[in-house]
Amino acid sequence: MKLKHISTLLGAAAVAASMLTGASASAEDKVGFVYVGPVGDHGWTYRHDLGRQAVQNALGDKVKTTFVESVKEGPDAERVIRQMAADGHKLIFTTSFGYMNPTLKVAKQFPGVKFEHATGYKRMDNVSTYSARFYEGRYVVGKIAGKMTKSNVIGYVGSFPIPEVVRGINATILAARSVNPDVVVKVAWVSTWYDPGKEGDAAKALIDQGADIILQHTDSPAPLQVAESRGVWAVGQASDMSKFAPKAQLTGIIDDWDGYYVARTKAILDGSWKSEDTWGGFNTGLVQLAPYNKAIPADVIQLAEDTRKGIEDGSINPFAGPFNKQDGSVGAAAGSALDDGTLLGMNWYVEGVEGQLPK
C-alpha cells in the first residue's frame, strides 16, 4: 500500500519535472526522450543519452532535446509521454520495451506528434519502431565464451523473459556450442533492468554454481565487478565497461544510437519522416563490440572477427539450422534459418540452456 502510493507520487513528480523542462523551451523544435533508467547507469540509458547529446551537437540550435529519466514502465510512462506530447514536442523517443502500449495510446491522441519506440513491434502512422540486432553481438561473444570457458558453464544474468532477452541467450549458446558442444548456459532472472546490488548477487550465485563467464542483459556494471573480484570472465553490456573489470572484460556489446537519432531528427526537420521499422546490426553500426581483452588468444580473436565480418556481410546467420529447441524438437532444420518474425516472438530456449523459461 505504502509503496504503491509512493510510486504514484514519484510518477506525478516526474510529470511535474517534465512540465518544468517543457516550459522553458523556446521556438526550436523539441525532441523528447523517455528513459527507463538514470542517465548515469553506464549502460542502456547512458547510451541513449549519448545519442540525445549527439542530436544536440549535430543540430545545434535547430532543436532542443529534453529527457525524463527513471520512468517506470506502465501508467507512469503514459503520463510522462502524454505530458511531453502536450508540451509541443515534435518527436518523442520512448526507449524501453515496456513503453510500447503507453506510446501507442498517447500517439492516438496526438496524431501530429511523431513517436519512435525502441524495441517494440507495434507501429502506427505516427509511430516508428527501432531496435538493434544485439543478438549479432552476442553470437560473436558466444564464440569467444565457448572457447574461453574451462568449466563449460556460462552464467547469464537476465532481466525479464521477453523475446529480446531470450534471443540473446539463444544466440550465445548456439555460438558457444558451435565451437564447444559441452557448454551449457545457466540463467538467473532478476526481474529488473537496473539494480546494481541484485545484478551483482545474481552474478555471484551463477559463479557459485560453476559459471566461469558472466554475461548479462541488465544495465549496470555490477556483474562485471563481481566477475573481476572472483577472477572469472565477463562481457560488458551496452557500453564498454572495462573500467569496472579491466582484467575480466572479454569484450562488450556496445549500443550506438547516435547516427540513428541524428538521422531521424533531421527527417523531422526536413519533413521526410515516415513511420518505419529499423532493425539494424553490425551492418548499420547500431551494434558494435568493445576492444577485445588482451588475454584472448590470437586464434580466438581471429574467429570472433571472422564471425563479426560474416554477420556484417550476410554470409553468417546466427539462427541458421540445424539446431534443436531445448525440448528436443527442431528449432531450425539444416539449410534453413529463422525469419525475423520468429526471432521477434522467440519464447523458447534452444538446446544447451538449463532451467525452464519463465512464462
Partner 1 sequence: MSGFDWIVPVILTVITAATPLVFAAIGELVTEKSGVLNLGVEGMMLVGAVTGFVTATVTGNYFLAVALAAVAGGFMAFLFGILTLSLMANQVATGLALTLFGVGLSALMGQEFVGEPVASLSKLNIPGISDIPIIGPIVFGQDGLVYLSFVMVALVSWFLYKTKAGLILRAVGDSHDAAHSIGYSVIGIRYMAVIFGGAMSGIGGAYLSLAYTPMWAENMTAGRGWIALALIVFATWKPGLVLVGAYMFGGITILQLHAQAAGLDLPSQVLSMLPYLATVLVLVLISKDQSRIRKHAPACIGKIFHPAA
- Name the residues that contact partner 1, by CB under 8 A: 2-3, 6, 9-10, 13, 37-42, 46, 69-70, 155, 161, 186-192, 194-198, 200-202, 204-206, 208-211, 220-222, 225, 229, 243-244, 354-356, 358-359
Of 10 and 267, which has the nearer Cβ to partner 1?
Answer: 10
Beta-strand ranges (E) seen in 239-318 are 249-255, 277-280, 287-289
**129: Cβ–Cβ under 8 A, 6 or more apart, which residues?**
116, 117, 118, 119, 120, 121, 122, 123, 277, 278
Of 52 and 90, which has the nearer Cβ to partner 1?
Answer: 52
Classify residue 355 by its DSSP letter: S
Of 108 and 243, which has the nearer Cβ to partner 1?
Answer: 243
Closest approach of Cβ 316 to partner 1, in Å? 30
CB 308 within 8 A of CB 318: no
> Cis omega before residue 181 (within 30°)?
no
Closest approach of Cβ 5 to partner 1, in Å? 9
Kindly report the number of other CB atoms within 10 A of residue 126's CB atom.
20
Closest approach of Cβ 159 to partner 1, in Å? 11
CA 89 – CA 25 distance, rounded (Å): 10
Closest approach of Cβ 39 to partner 1, in Å? 7
Closest approach of Cβ 143 to partner 1, in Å? 23
Of 166 and 303, which has the nearer Cβ to partner 1?
Answer: 166
Of 205 and 320, which has the nearer Cβ to partner 1?
Answer: 205
| SS3 state of residue 2 | helix
Beta bridge partners of 353: 185
Closest approach of Cβ 23 to partner 1, in Å? 18
Of 40 and 75, which has the nearer Cβ to partner 1?
Answer: 40
* All three cell numbers of 305: 572477427
295 phi and psi angles, rounded to 5 deg: -75, -10
